[in-house]
Amino acid sequence: MSENKVSRRLAAILAADVVGYSRLVGQNEEGTITRLNTLRTELLDPSIARHNGRMVKTMGDGFLIEYSSAVDAVRSAVELQRQLAERNADLPEDTRMAFRIGVNLGDIIVQGDDILGDGVNIAARLEGIAVQGGVCIADKVGAEVAGKIDVVFQDGGEYKVKNIAQPVRVLHWHPDESVTLPVGDAATDDADGKPDRQPNLVLMPLDALGGDDETKNLAAEIDDEVSGALAKLTGISLVTAVDEADYVAKGSVRAAGNRFRATLQLHDQAEQKQFWSERFDGELEDIFDAMDELAVRICSALRYEIYERETEKSKQRSVEEQSNQELMGQAGHILFQSRRADYEKSRELISIVIERDPDNPMALAIGAWGRTMLEVICGYGPIAPEDGETGMQYIRRSLELNERSDFAHMVQGRLYLHWERDTSAAILAAERSLELNAGFVLAMGLMGETKSFAGDPEAGIEYSTKAVETDARFPANHWFMEDIALGNFVREDYDATIEWAKRADQRQRDVPRILLMLTTACAHAGQTDAAAKAAQRLIDACADFRVGDLRHWAFQDPAHWERFTSGLIEAGLPA
């Protein structure tokens, strides 16, 4: 176990990402990865070494680098963008690999080899503000490098950076002087001027009960793993000061023999009360696996509990009074219930956000989900062509704006699977989502479902089971249970299919896709009466059901689809 102590220091932080990475991978996956590796070997790594930097971590298409001085960080950033511009000059525009780079100077928290804190968060925000091929720096970085580097930065005005109390004045530079550089105006992210930010969370160091060194080391290890996982979450910001946080997570660790128990509580700072508590047990035989699993379970639980509370709070005010962030929270959260009315409500709410802010990446991703998954999750009919096309437009634009959204990649994978029935593309999207956030249960569920449809039910069941077991309270667990039933159907284990379909049905009643799976499995298992009862419940829920109208599920083997529909007809459903 790690015995690294948490410490602070002042550092210059460079955050960079590849613009349009998903598009490039979609065009040529192996070629894009090879080119990115070549750029790192030939340009990035030598520049880091020349300017006394340290690669903190890579995130697929992104990099986080620490420098001891602002001058070194900016020189490295400028050098990289100049070299990339030269390389791209003779390449077709649709094959060019360009970076956005943000540089900040600030206090950071050091946990092992990782760094966290507002200094890092602001660098990431600046990277998002930077223009393609350019560098965006905080004004305090500009003050440090003035007169010490051979480029002139242009004042970009003030930006209200999410989760930071005071606006940040930014400066821009681009190697091509003809490029128009943006100017901020200190506005909030909401067109109506309402506060619009993600909920903030601070994780307090866990108490080591018992006081022995082994338990203290275990508590520190859990702190490191959970903090690192929380920092990757979409939709929640990890902060370091209690007085800046909306929510505080605190708890304790106890060890006994080869077992340990971590107990966590969530406190609402505004209401000054605890509203959630849970315990997480693990075994110490393989500490690395135990820490990975614990981090996934804790992060999933915290994410869901916070969003459920945020959604309940926002419902107390009218739609007009709510910020974009609050409307998106509601629109996304209610989609888990698998009810038609919820999807219609979600579309209504997200349409308001997109009208206010047409380039809000999370709103576009939620909008793509709401437009295309209604019949997949709630019903049995095909996705309407206009919804499928609009959904694809939304999700492509969302990923252009924020390629590192685990949620957006998951939604894109769902569209690939259910709209285009392209399991290979869906698996790539699921892999990217899990690369960004290994604990994202919706991406686990997507991977499980896709693997089963692709004819690999063993892998599908493994992913789907992990999704179910990650958080017993997760509201969409019935999806993952039905996916386990799907995998068992593919491998013709009808008893297991029935068991898991019944579990899904118990969690969420009268969902047509669950009833379809239950009906066909009972028919193939020779449970005639049970098949007839499930079929009747489906007719009660969907009076005009016909097997011939059924949306073609994404089975890659036509024999699986034939077997699926033959069971429905055998159970008495009208052809």
pLDDT tens, residue by residue, 24-77? 776 777 888 888 889 999 999 999 999 999 999 887 678 999 999 999 999 999
Query: Looking at residues 436-463, what average pLDDT do you find?
Result: 95
pLDDT of residue 519 exceeding 80: yes
Q: Are 488 and 348 in contact (CB under 8 A)?
A: no
- The domain spans of the chain are 7-173, 200-314, 317-415, 445-575
Buried/exposed code over 434-471 (b: 16+ C-beta within 10 A; e: otherwise) = bbbbbbbbbbbbbbbbbbbbbebbebbbbbbbbbbebb
pLDDT reading at 240 higher than 80: no
Map residue 30 onto helix, strand or coil.
helix
Is pLDDT above 90 for 228?
no
pLDDT (0 to 100) of residue 46: 95
pLDDT at site 234: 63
**Residues 498/500/505/506 CA torsion (nearest 10 deg):** 120
Q: Which segment of 143-147, 184-188, 211-215 scores lowest on mean pLDDT?
A: 184-188
Instruction: Read off the pLDDT of residues 188-221 as tens digits, 9 standing for 90 and up.
Output: 433 333 345 678 888 888 898 887 888 888 888 8
Residue pointed to by tokens 């108490």 = 207
Give the containing element (helix H, strand E) for 54: strand 53-58
Cα–Cα distance measured from residue 36 to residue 55, given in angstroms and rounded to the nearest whole number: 15
Q: Rounded to a whole number, what is the distance in angstroms from the first to the last CA of the chain?
A: 61
CATH class name, domain 317-415: mainly alpha
Highest averaged pLDDT of the listed ranges 56-65, 269-278, 305-314, 365-374: 365-374
- Tell me, what's the pLDDT at 564? 98
261 touches 281 (CB < 8 A): yes
Range among 6-20, 258-272, 298-312, 538-552 rated most confident: 538-552
3-state secondary structure 115-162: EECHHHHHHHHHHHHCCCCCEEEEHHHHHHHCCCCCCCCEEEEEECCC
**pLDDT over 70 (residue 3):** no
Structure tokens at 338: 């698998």
Backbone angles phi, psi at 278, to 5 degrees: -155, 155
Ranges 171-180, 237-246, 389-398, 517-526: which has the least confidence: 237-246
Judge whether 252 and 231 are in contact, CB under 8 Å: no
The confidence band for 377, taking pLDDT boundaries of 50, 70 and 90, is confident
Report the candidate in 372, 381, 319, 364 with the shortest Cα–Cα distance to residue 343.
Answer: 372
CATH code of the domain occupying 7-173 = 3.30.70.1230
DSSP string, 480-537: HHHHHHHHHHHTT-HHHHHHHHHHHHHHSTT-HHHHHHHHHHHHHTT-HHHHHHHHHH
* Contact predicate 364/398, CB 8 Å: yes
Q: Which residues contact 333 (CB under 8 A, 6 or more apart)?
A: 307, 308, 311
Residue among 108, 81, 82 at smallest CA distance from 8: 108
CA-to-CA dists, residue 96 to 8, 26, 545, angstroms: 38, 14, 50
Chain centroid offset of residue 519 CA: 34
Helix (H) or strand (E) segment spanning residue 431: helix 423-436
Q: What is the pLDDT of residue 60?
A: 66
How far apart CA 572 and CA 411 sit, in angstroms, is: 35
Q: Which of 137, 133, 144, 143 is nearest to 159 (CA)?
A: 137
Please give the pLDDT value at position 41.
92
Q: Do residues 514 and 478 lie in contact, with contact meaning Cβ atoms separated by under 8 Å? A: yes
CATH number of 200-314: 3.40.50.10610
**Would you state the pLDDT for residue 483?**
97
- Statement: residue 88 has pLDDT above 70: yes
Lowest mean pLDDT segment, chosen from 164-173, 232-241, 426-435: 232-241
Per-residue model confidence (pLDDT) at position 162:
57
The answer to whether 416 and 426 have CB atoms below 8 angstroms apart is: yes
pLDDT of residue 184: 59
> Of 384, 383, 411, which is closest to residue 397 (Cα–Cα)?
411
What DSSP string describes 368-380? HHHHHSIIIII-S
> Can you read off the two tokens belonging to residue 17?
């990402």
Number of DSSP helices (H) and strands (E) in the chain, helices first: 21, 14
Lowest mean pLDDT among 24-28, 434-438, 488-492, 551-555: 24-28
Residue 94: its pLDDT value, please? 66
Residues 350/490, Cβ–Cβ less than 8 Å:
no
The domain 445-575 is classified under which CATH number: 2.60.40.10, 1.25.40.10, 3.40.50.150, 1.10.10.10? 1.25.40.10
* CB contact at 8 A, 239 and 163: yes
Which residues is 393 bridged to in the sheet?
none
Is pLDDT above 50 for 109?
yes
Region class of 181: left (phi > 0), else alpha (psi between -120 and 50), else beta: beta
- Binning pLDDT at 50, 70 and 90, where does residue 336 land? confident
Tell me the average pLDDT of the chain.
87
Where does the pLDDT of residue 242 fall: very low under 50, low under 70, confident under 90, or very high at 90 and above? confident
Q: Can 317-415 and 445-575 be said to share one CATH topology?
A: yes
Tell me what percent of the residues of the chain surpass a pLDDT of 90: 48
- Please, which residues bridge with residue 282 across strands? 260
Q: How far apart are CA 419 and CA 403, in angstroms?
A: 21
d(CA 29, CA 21) in angstroms, rounded, equals: 10
Alpha helices in 241-376 (DSSP H): 287-314, 324-333, 340-356, 361-372
What pLDDT band is residue 488 in, cutting at 50, 70 and 90? very high
By the 8 A CB rule, do 410 and 234 touch? no
Q: How many residues does the chain have?
A: 575
CA distance readout (Å), 307 to 5, 293, 354, 377:
31, 22, 20, 21
- List the beta strands (DSSP E) in 150-246: 154-159, 168-173, 200-203, 207-208, 237-238
**250-300 pLDDT, tens per residue?**
989 998 888 889 999 999 887 778 888 888 888 887 777 778 888 888 888
CA gap 521, 516 in Å, rounded? 9
Within 8 A by CB and 6+ apart from 344, the residues are none
